[in-house]
């Protein structure tokens, strides 16, 4: 049985990517190639102690360890982790195929803790690209300071590395634009304190494009939450997703579209394609504009027929609406509305329309929790 994996030696700027191969066969002999025999014995002694702490039996077989390119004694210490992983694959702790695209680095302590055996100054000149076979790195991030084109899983103990290998791996390398988007999202969320539940559901809504209603008194941050949620939408070709917040006075023409001088004019809904359409003061919108959303939400399409002609638009906008809980906006603490006024205000939104908003959130300013990353 032969196991293939990769190691990383940052002190070799020209060829830091080290191919590690380990063969197990019947017998009780240790053979090495590409490294000094004494260095291999010292490394295997550390590995054996670490594996004993994890209740992993040492393979009672002959081992042949091959390293390419060849290393000096001082460079061998960083290969404890890849050699240990190869031994554990031989012992059946995980499939050997999981190591073929993995690069790891670190010196093992006797208890299995990993450490970086080389000073950080030796890493600064390393800018060599990894071989095409390598798809991810594992170990401490300090071990791969200039490796920006590989996803690095942070692990500081051999048991953590084994657990990471036994979990599904989703390859995803963040580009510079994606990193900028992520920083923008964290910046926008950081402006809003608390409202962890609302943030969580807005994240879900942005991911799945689930239309959302936010209800709460004025000044509780509904608009701020919506603007922060807009940053969650993916950019298109480096440009941010559209964000439109038309005023209720725009009516049907402003929301859906109209005809002007014989030409169709797109409304806010069509212009917000692949973006966010924010309808503040939702009950104050004209009833025809509100109710027309029922068909649009169901079909993602709009057909406009006028005397001048007909037009159609298709849009996958994420619709987020905001509303107060009563006419005065201060329900329940300082509300001046009588019960009939509150009922009349809420009846402006029909049940069939409300049912088309899967996420309905109360934003009252009393939630001091934070949304987990």
Helix, strand, coil in percent for the chain, rounding step 5: 35, 25, 40
Q: Quick check: 220 pLDDT over 70?
A: yes
Residue where one domain finishes, among candidates 165, 191, 213: 165
Confidence class for position 121, pLDDT limits 50, 70, 90? very low
Mean pLDDT, to the nearest integer, of 112-122? 64
Cα 200 from Cα 228, distance rounded (Å): 12
Mean pLDDT of the chain: 79
Task: Tell me whether residue 367 is in a domain.
Answer: no
Q: Are 137 and 153 in contact (CB under 8 A)?
A: yes
pLDDT at 154 over 80: no
Q: Are 148 and 167 a contacting pair, CB within 8 Å?
A: no
Domain presence at residue 353: yes
| Claim to verify: residue 127 and residue 191 sit in the same structural domain | no
Task: Read off φ and ψ for residue 322, nearest 5 degrees.
Answer: -130, 145
Query: Does one domain contain both 123 and 202?
Result: no
Assess whether 228 and 333 both reside in one domain: yes
On whether both 155 and 188 belong to a single domain, the answer is: no
* 108 membership: H or E segment, kind and range: strand 107-108
Closest CA to 298 of 366, 355, 346: 355
Q: Looking at the structure, do residues 334 and 256 belong to the same domain, yes or no? A: yes
In a domain, 197, yes or no: yes
In a domain, 373, yes or no: no
Inter-residue contact 140 to 106 (CB < 8 Å)? yes
Into how many domains does the chain fold?
A: 2
Last residue of a domain, one of 115, 138, 165: 165
pLDDT of residue 192: 67
At residue 160, does pLDDT exceed 60? yes
- Whether residue 77 lies inside any domain: the answer is yes
371 in any annotated domain: no
Residues 186 and 325 placed together within one structural domain of the fold: yes
Q: Do 157 and 202 fall within a single domain?
A: no
Query: Do 243 and 303 belong together in one domain?
Result: yes
What does each C-alpha distance from 338 to 134, 289, 326, 335, 369 come to in angstroms? 68, 27, 10, 8, 33
Same domain for 237 and 138, yes or no, is: no
Does residue 89 sit in the same domain as residue 213? no
User: Residue 126's pLDDT band (boundaries 50, 70, 90)?
Assistant: very low
Are 160 and 194 in a shared domain?
no
Q: Which two tokens stand for residue 173?
A: 């390398």
Residue 86 has pLDDT above 50, yes or no: yes
Instruction: State the CATH number of the domain containing residue 92.
Output: 3.30.230.10
Pick from 93-107, 125-139, 258-272, 354-368: least confident: 125-139
Helical H segments across the chain, by residue range: 37-53, 80-90, 158-165, 176-190, 196-208, 222-230, 251-256, 268-271, 287-299, 339-346, 351-354
Which residues is 239 bridged to in the sheet?
A: 236
Q: Containing domain of residue 100, as a range?
A: 2-165
User: Using 50, 70 and 90 to split pLDDT, how confident is the model at 20?
Assistant: very high
The tens digit of pLDDT for each residue in 264-308 reads 888 899 899 989 999 998 988 999 999 989 988 888 888 888 777
341 part of a folded domain: yes
User: pLDDT tens across 316-341, in order?
Assistant: 899 999 988 887 776 667 777 888 88
- Measured CA angle at 2 (ends 63, 24), to 5 deg: 25
Asked if residue 38 is part of any domain, the answer here is yes
Residue 132 has pLDDT above 70, yes or no: no
Q: What is the pLDDT of residues 252-264, one digit of tens each?
A: 888 888 888 778 8
Which tens digit of pLDDT belongs to each residue from 44-75? 999 999 998 888 888 888 999 999 888 888 88
Q: How confident is the model at residue 244 (pLDDT cuts 50, 70, 90)?
A: very high
Last residue of a domain, one of 140, 165, 190: 165
CA proximity to 109, closest of 169, 194, 52, 26: 52
Is the domain of 28 the same as that of 100? yes
CATH of residue 290's domain is 3.40.50.300
């Amino acid at each position: 049985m032969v196991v293939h994996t990769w190691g990383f030696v940052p002190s070799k700027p020209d060829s830091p990517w080290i191919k590690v191969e380990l063969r197990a066969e019947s017998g009780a002999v240790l053979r090495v190639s590409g490294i000094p025999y004494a260095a291999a014995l010292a490394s295997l002694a550390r590995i054996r102690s670490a594996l004993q702490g994890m209740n992993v039996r040492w393979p009672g077989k002959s081992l042949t360890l091959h390293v390419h390119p060849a290393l000096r004694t001082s460079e061998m210490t960083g290969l404890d982790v890849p050699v240990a992983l190869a031994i554990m694959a031989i012992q059946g702790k995980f499939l050997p195929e999981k190591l073929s695209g993995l690069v790891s680095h670190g010196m093992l302590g006797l208890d299995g803790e990993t450490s970086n055996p080389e000073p950080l100054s030796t890493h600064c000149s390393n800018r060599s690209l990894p071989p095409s076979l390598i798809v991810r790195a594992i170990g401490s991030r300090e071990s791969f300071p200039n490796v920006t084109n590989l996803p690095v899983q942070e692990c500081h103990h051999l048991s953590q590395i084994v657990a990471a290998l036994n979990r599904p791996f989703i390859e995803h390398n963040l580009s510079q634009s994606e990193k900028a988007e992520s920083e923008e999202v964290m910046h926008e969320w950081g402006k809003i304190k608390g409202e962890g539940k609302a943030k969580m559901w807005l994240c879900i809504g942005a991911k799945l494009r689930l239309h959302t209603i936010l209800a709460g008194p004025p000044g509780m941050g509904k608009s701020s939450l919506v603007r922060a949620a807009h940053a969650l939408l993916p950019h298109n070709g480096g440009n941010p997703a559209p964000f439109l917040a038309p005023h209720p006075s725009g009516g049907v023409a402003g929301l859906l579209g109209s005809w002007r001088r014989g030409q169709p004019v797109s409304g806010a809904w069509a212009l917000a394609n692949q973006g966010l359409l924010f309808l503040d003061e939702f009950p104050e919108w004209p009833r025809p504009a509100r109710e027309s959303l029922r068909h649009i939400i169901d079909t993602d399409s709009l057909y406009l027929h006028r005397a001048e002609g007909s037009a159609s638009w298709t849009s996958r906008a994420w619709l987020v609406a905001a509303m107060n809980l009563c006419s005065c906006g201060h329900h329940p603490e300082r509300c001046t509305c009588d019960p009939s006024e509150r009922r009349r205000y809420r009846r402006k939104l029909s049940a069939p329309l409300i049912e088309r908003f899967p996420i309905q959130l109360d934003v009252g300013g009393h939630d001091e929790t934070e949304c987990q990353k």
